[in-house]
Structures are given as C-alpha cells and as structure tokens.
Copies of this chain bind each other. A is one copy, B any other.
Amino acid sequence: MLVVQKYGGSSVADPERIHRVAGQIVALREKGHDIAVVVSAMGDTTDELISLVKEITDSPPDREMDMLLSTGEQISIALLAMAIRKRGRPVTSLTGPQAGIITDSVHTKARILNIDTRRLKKEFSQGNIVVVAGFQGIDQAGGDITTLGRGGSDTTAVALAAALQADLCEIYTDVDGVYTTDPRIVPEACKLNVISYEEMLELANLGAAVLHPRAVEMAVNYKMPLHVRSSFNTNPGTLVREVENMERALSVTGVVCDHNVAKIGLFNVMDKPGVAFTIFKALADEKINVDMIIQSAMRDERNDISFTCSTGDLKNALAVVDRLQTDIGADGYTHSDAVAKVSIVGAGMISNPGVAATMFKALYEEGINLEMISTSEIRISCVLRDKDAEKAVKALHKKFALA
C-alpha cells in the first residue's frame, strides 16, 4: 500500500512532537507500506520569519518572501528525517522543488501545475520513507522557489497522493477529525465518521479550519479519499470520500460559525442595469472577496443591496462604497463587523424540504434576529449579530439532533 501522510505545524512544533510523529511513521512503515510524509513548518517558525521581515521592509518582494518562508518546511523535513533515521529506517527528505512539485510563477500563492514523481518513485524503489516539504514548489519558468499560500501543505499532500495514485491520504492535525460543530462552543458536538467531499468543501469554505478548501477541491477532482485525524492519539478520525445518496442518513451534517464577517448595506440604489456590476467590479478590482450578496425586493424602482466580506477587507470595501455612492445613486450606506455567519451544511438537504424552515424556527425560538440569508444546494447561511452566534450554534446543533 502507498500512503501519503500530512502533519501540520502543531504536530511537529518541537523535538518531542517530531519524535512522536517519527515513531508513528516508522510503525506504519513496519507494516510494509510505502510512505510519503508531507510536513509544515514547525509551530511558530513562519511567524518568527515574518517578524524579521517587518524589521526589514513593509513591502517585501513576493519572490523573496517565498525564498524566506520555504526555509520553515525545510527545517521540519530535515529534523523529521533525522528522527526517523534514529529509529533505524532509511529516509530521504525532499524540498518541494526536489519532490518535483511544479507550480505557476505566482509567488506566495502559486498553484500546482504538475508533479514530476520520478525522484519520489526512485526513493520508494530504494526502500526509503520520503519526507516532503509542504507548501512549496518550483516555478516551471524560472526555476525559483514558490509557496502555495494558505492551505498549501494540505494541498501538497492531496496533490502528491493523487500523482502517486496513493491508496490513502491521511491528514494529521491537532483535532480528532471533523465535528458536527466546534466542540469549544457545543461540548456535545460529535465527530463524524464519514463526510462527503461536497459537505467537507462547504464546511471548509465556511471556515472549519481542519481542512483547507483547496485541498478538498483537489481531493474531489482526483477522487482521493482523505482521512482527517489527530496526531496526538490513534483514534480513527473522519473519512472524507464520495458518499452515495442512499447512505445519507442525516439531512444536516454540521453547524459552522464564522466570526470573520463584516456587512455593508447600501440604501435606495437605483434600479437599473449595471448597478450591481459597477459595485462588485470595483470591489473585485481592489481584490476584496465578497461572500454573500443580497438584493432586496424592489420598492419605488429602488433597491437595497447588502453584501458581506471579511473583517480585514471592511476598510477597503467602505472606501470603494464611499467613492461609488453618488454614481449608483445610493442614499447612504451602513456597515457592521459585529456580525457572524452561522451555517448548516448537509448533502441530505436536497431531498429534505423544510430544513430551512426548521433552521429559522430554531433561531426564532431563541429570539435571534436574522440580518441576511443565503443558501446553496447543501448549505444555509444566516448572518446574525455576533453576540447571538454561540446561542445560534447551540440551538441548531440541538434542533438537528447532531449530538
């Protein structure tokens, strides 16, 4: 069997944890499997490097950021390889470039174009465990080091697993798997044994930090099953895989809350073609990621338009809105970052009418006011006041009997 494992920064944060991970890898190797291990930078390494940069310049060139930050994973792979070797197993560490991870040239957020698996296969043929630096690759054009940006190490692991046609891709993290909701908010939250790619993608997009959406997307594309589990115990985690409709027992699989949300509302915008385009084109030009967009029912040939973005983008978004206000004929605008987005996700929703009604009822019973609502086939999200978020999550978790 060929297994790809990925260990996050908290799993290799110090020598003691590196030893624990090494022991786990060697134990699996002793069963005769080929193993490629993808690792992130140790705990705080990346933050420490970034704080050095801040003493040098406010606007580091992206290419040099990649040159700098890629050292974090390189340190991890060398130390983990040493710990494996200490246990008597042959092992080779490989940087992203050495592992053949070829990317485009967009420094700090490169995308993987291709993986040249020759070196990896050579190492396997020599009986070596391979430890690969996550988050990094080499750009095809210039031979420069690139980094993959957020979720990069998860993505490296899934891409490697796909390229090597691995039998399994295990994502080790600091939690036991994917939960019905955040156990810090709802202690009765329970771990899901299986979740479909689509549901995982919604959860990941909604901010469930356990897996990055990019990695889930790649897993969907290559039909690569992922096992999300803890590096601190041997409990089985959550299997992310294709799930047949027949198997879907629950209409709702999980409840997610995202506090990194800000809301902007424009009053009495002119109701004519091109107004929405004007607003959202201007926001896109400023690289502001807009999440929910709501246009209210028309009254007097005027609309209210509301949208959400991340709290970090709020300031820039307000500048755009302020500049456009006259052009689009708005009476004014309002904004708030004291809001949160609470969502329920479940592939079973499609075949269960009334899920939305049940959700709104549960929130109504708690006296929670909904500011915005948006839905997808397998998700319903509500924007509500920040202070109501925890109460909302608890109520929904209970209402949908997820415990």
- Roughly how many angstroms separate A81 CA and B18 CA in the complex, as a whole number? 32
Contacts A64-B93, A93-B64, A93-B67; A56 near B74 (Cβ below 8 A): no
* 0/1 string, A6-36, CB within 8 A of B gives 1: 0000000011101100000000000000000
- Roughly how many angstroms separate A59 CA and B59 CA in the complex, as a whole number? 41
Q: Are A57 and B78 in contact (CB under 8 A)?
A: no
A143: chain B residues at CB < 8 Å are 98, 119
Q: Are B93 and A56 in contact (CB under 8 A)?
A: no
Residue among B19, B61, B86 making CB contact with A85, cutoff 8 Å:
B61
* 0/1 string, A60-104, CB within 8 A of B gives 1: 110111011011001101110111011000001101001000000
- Roughly how many angstroms separate A15 CA and B48 CA in the complex, as a whole number? 13
Verify if A298 is at the interface (C-beta below 8 Å from B).
no
Q: Are B78 and A64 in contact (CB under 8 A)?
A: yes
Q: Are B53 and A79 in contact (CB under 8 A)?
A: yes
A64: chain B residues at CB < 8 Å are 78, 81-82, 85, 93
Contacts A57-B86, A64-B85; A15 near B79 (Cβ below 8 A): no
Residue among B14, B68, B81, B144 making CB contact with A79, cutoff 8 Å:
B68
- Roughly how many angstroms separate A307 CA and B108 CA in the complex, as a whole number? 57
* 0/1 string, A134-146, CB within 8 A of B gives 1: 0000000001110
CB distance from A140 to the nearest CB of B (A): 15
A249: chain B residues at CB < 8 Å are none
Verify if A49 is at the interface (C-beta below 8 Å from B).
yes
CB distance from A121 to the nearest CB of B (A): 15
Verify if A52 is at the interface (C-beta below 8 Å from B).
yes
- Roughly how many angstroms separate A61 CA and B86 CA in the complex, as a whole number? 9
How big is the A interface, by class?
A: 35 or more
Q: Are A78 and B68 in contact (CB under 8 A)?
A: yes
CB distance from A231 to the nearest CB of B (A): 17
- Roughly how many angstroms separate A337 CA and B64 CA in the complex, as a whole number? 48
Residue among B14, B19, B61, B77 making CB contact with A82, cutoff 8 Å:
B61
Q: Which residue of B lies closest to A65 (CB)?
A: B78
- Roughly how many angstroms separate A351 CA and B222 CA in the complex, as a whole number? 79
Q: Are A83 and B68 in contact (CB under 8 A)?
A: no
* Interface CB pairs A-B, < 8 A, 30: A15-B52, A15-B55, A15-B56, A16-B55, A52-B75, A52-B79, A53-B82, A56-B79, A56-B82, A56-B86, A57-B83, A59-B86, A60-B82, A61-B81, A61-B82, A64-B81, A64-B82, A64-B85, A64-B93, A65-B78, A67-B81, A67-B93, A68-B74, A68-B75, A68-B78, A70-B74, A71-B78, A95-B145, A98-B144, A119-B143
Other than the given A18-B56, A53-B79, A68-B75, 16 more pairs (CB < 8 A) read: A14-B55, A19-B56, A53-B82, A57-B85, A59-B86, A60-B85, A61-B85, A63-B92, A64-B78, A64-B82, A65-B78, A67-B77, A67-B78, A68-B74, A71-B75, A71-B78
